[in-house]
Structure 1
Amino acid sequence: MKNYTVKLYEKNDFQVWNAFIGSAKNATFLFHRDFMEYHSDRFQDYSMMVFEEGKLVSVIPANKVENTVFSHQGLTYGGFVFGEKIKLGEVITITKSVLAFLHQNEISTLQLKLIPSIYNHFFSEEIEYCLFLTEARLIRRDCLSVIDLEKPFLITKTRKESIRRGEKNNLVIKEELNFELFWNEILIPNLSKKHNAKPVHSLEEIINLQKKFPENIRHFNVYFNGEIMAGTTVFVTDNVAHPQYISGNEKKNELGSIDYLYNHLIKEVFPEKCFFDFGPSHEENGKKINQGILFWKESFGAKTTVQDYYVLETKNFVLLNDILI
């Protein structure tokens, strides 16, 4: 049986960590340290690195709150990240090593927010099997609305009519770096009015992140007679285009601005991607579904996949003894 060493990430591991992320089978740019550390002041980082005789074989983006370690709470997804050549037996032993490391460091529980399968480069569900073996408990399941761009999908008649309204109104779509207009005139006011909330990323943060990841963070605005009507910020990975932010003004339905924009993104900007991920439509940690939002996404031809959240006790590392017979 192979021996693995687990250590906490340190600043001098920056290049080694990022090189591994660049070649992993289930990683995206969100796991790059330049992305993770934009909010380092809000989280106590507890990211882990697993080595086999000096070779990095897995990383776990994570943060710590008291005696619980989380798949990094500042990221949309996380969990164990592996290289493409990893085998199931190795994953079982790596998982045992990580849980034992946490247990020895007085961490009682680990909460994992798994990366949705559409973001993986290869099949990567070994960790789900390990969660079964360690008696992990499913605590949340989010429904994601996703278009499989490699298969035929049907846009409804109602949505097509709205798209045609955008065409008739001569709406103009521009990809640009002008986040200020969208953030200050549409996104922030709408979130404040409708949800008493703020964007996850401040204006300064999204501008800085886009500069570091220009191919992965793209922004589009829609204009009518020179005035901004709507906009969206899209996070782009190898397989997936995912709108991170979307919002429009009070004329969005009348003009068809958002539908016109999304039809353009799906058919003209990202048709080479495997998936277009609208994200979740849930509330109350997946217990309730916003029917209006779900209807809108499904009217573009989106189908449902899920993202799972688990909690497991680190002492259960012993349950991974003698699995391989």
Structure 2
Amino acid sequence: MDEQDSIIVESYSDVCAQEWDEFVRKSRNGTFLFERPYMDYHKDRFTDCSLVFRQRKNGRIICLLPASVSGETVVSHGGLTYGGFIMPPDGLDGGKLLNVMAAAVDFYRGKGLKKLRYKMIPYIYHRYPSDEDYYALFRASAGLVETNLSSVIELDNAYRFDERSRRNMSKAMRAGVVVKESEDFGGYWHILEEVLMSRHSVKPVHSLAEIQLLKARFPENIRLFTATDSSGEIIAGSLLYYTPTCVHAQYIAASESGRKTGALSLLFHHIITQECGGAKYFDFGTCNEDHGLYLNEGLLLQKNGFGGRGIVYNIFEIDLTA
């Protein structure tokens, strides 16, 4: 029997939700973003076309592919920052992943889809090396179509804050700024929405109601830290996503008062030195717009001032008509 024939490919359905989530939690490169209670919070906006790969002989899951479809393009996943094949601790090497990739391509091609847009999971989120998909993409003649640059700290070997950030931190301390974990999502969201609208004319990806829902579903993974002034008013904050290997700043915002007092420098010094637990990396997030073609150099300078250095979020495409 051909190795590819030993694989069963099936569309995800809610019937296997628990099985899916258990696989993600035991995988070597999955995070809570791939668990169904997270993925499904916006299922009204994305048409799911995730795949489950099983061994034919015993029905055991060997791989997952979170995905959504838009028009004639399948994306892994349209509603997530990163995506790709979710791999088990063992039993799926580079050779077998070639068969999984071929099975996925055949499945989507059979549905009449034209492109597979594959968002890499950056290595900083891997619990164990999981770059087999890079090789499978190469063998599938995938092309690199987008690269976004993020700023990341290696926590056990963190660079010192630059002079400007240290100066701002001292300014915030003199002003009596206090940093702590907060449950005041509404107060922070008010600042976040104002900042994003005034500076970029956009709204947060998540509404306040959505982030409160996700916080209730993943209380240990989603945490808010704020900086308050001497009167207790929130002047800066960051919403953090905690994964086994990396803490990710999902949102960062400071009010005009917060910017004047240098509150973000004190906020991130506290987070980086005291609130990252056993994580290896802190990810400030990407600094790009226009599908990677525009780099916000001022934002990158600020993040690098806190000790961050570059990693990339890559997106590949496979032509399913070839």
Q: TM-score, normalised by structure 1?
A: 0.94
Which amino acid in structure 2 is aligned with residue 156 of structure 1?
Answer: D
Is 1:67–2:72 an aligned residue pair? yes
Pairing partner for 1:196 from 185, 201, 205: 201
2: CA distance, partners of 1:162 / 1:106: 55
Is 1:183–2:189 an aligned residue pair? yes
Deviation at 1:176, TM superposition (A): 1.9
Deviation at 1:152, TM superposition (A): 4.0
Instruction: Identify the residue that residue 138 of structure 1 maps to in structure 2.
Output: 144
CA RMSD after TM alignment: 1.2
Instruction: Identify the residue that residue 24 of structure 2 maps to in structure 1.
Output: 21
1: CA distance, partners of 2:161 / 2:23: 39
Instruction: Identify the residue that residue 9 of structure 1 maps to in structure 2.
Output: 12
1: CA distance, partners of 2:36 / 2:277: 29
The question of whether the paired residues in 1 share the 8 Å contact of 2:94 and 2:136 is answered with: no
The question of whether the paired residues in 2 share the 8 Å contact of 1:144 and 1:280 is answered with: yes
Is 1:205–2:210 an aligned residue pair? yes
Is 1:58–2:58 an aligned residue pair? no
Deviation at 1:27, TM superposition (A): 0.4
Q: How does 1:215-226 map to 2 (within 5 A)?
A: 215-224=220-229, 225-226=231-232
Pairing partner for 1:163 from 154, 169, 177: 169
Q: How does 1:34-113 map to 2 (within 5 A)?
A: 34-53=37-56, 54-85=59-90, 86-113=92-119
2: CA distance, partners of 1:315 / 1:180: 47
Structure 1: which 5+ residue stretches go unaligned? 317-325
- SS of the residue 2:19 aligns to: helix
Instruction: Identify the residue that residue 302 of structure 2 maps to in structure 1.
Output: 296
Q: Aligned pair in 2 of structure 1 residues 70, 152: CA closer, same or farther (>3 Å)?
A: closer
Q: How does 1:122-137 map to 2 (within 5 A)?
A: 122-137=128-143
2: CA distance, partners of 1:206 / 1:229: 20
Is 1:214–2:219 an aligned residue pair? yes
Instruction: Identify the residue that residue 228 of structure 1 maps to in structure 2.
Output: 234
Deviation at 1:13, TM superposition (A): 1.1
Is 1:115–2:118 an aligned residue pair? no
Q: Aligned pair in 2 of structure 1 residues 212, 250: CA closer, same or farther (>3 Å)?
A: same
Pairing partner for 1:148 from 154, 162, 165: 154
2: CA distance, partners of 1:313 / 1:275: 34
Equivalent residues, number? 315
2: CA distance, partners of 1:226 / 1:134: 56
Q: TM-score, normalised by structure 2?
A: 0.95
The question of whether the paired residues in 2 share the 8 Å contact of 1:173 and 1:222 is answered with: yes
Instruction: Identify the residue that residue 322 of structure 1 maps to in structure 2.
Output: none
Show CA shifts across 1:218-258 (max 9, x none).
00111112111111110110111111111111122321111
Deviation at 1:174, TM superposition (A): 2.3
Which amino acid in structure 2 is aligned with residue 43 of structure 1?
Answer: F
The question of whether the paired residues in 2 share the 8 Å contact of 1:103 and 1:314 is answered with: yes
2: CA distance, partners of 1:159 / 1:271: 23
Which runs of 4 or more aligned residues in structure 1 lie more than 2 Å from their structure 2 counterparts after TM superposition? none
The question of whether the paired residues in 2 share the 8 Å contact of 1:23 and 1:83 is answered with: yes
Show CA shifts across 1:67-120 (max 9, x none).
211111111100111102121111111111111111122122110011111001
Deviation at 1:154, TM superposition (A): 2.2
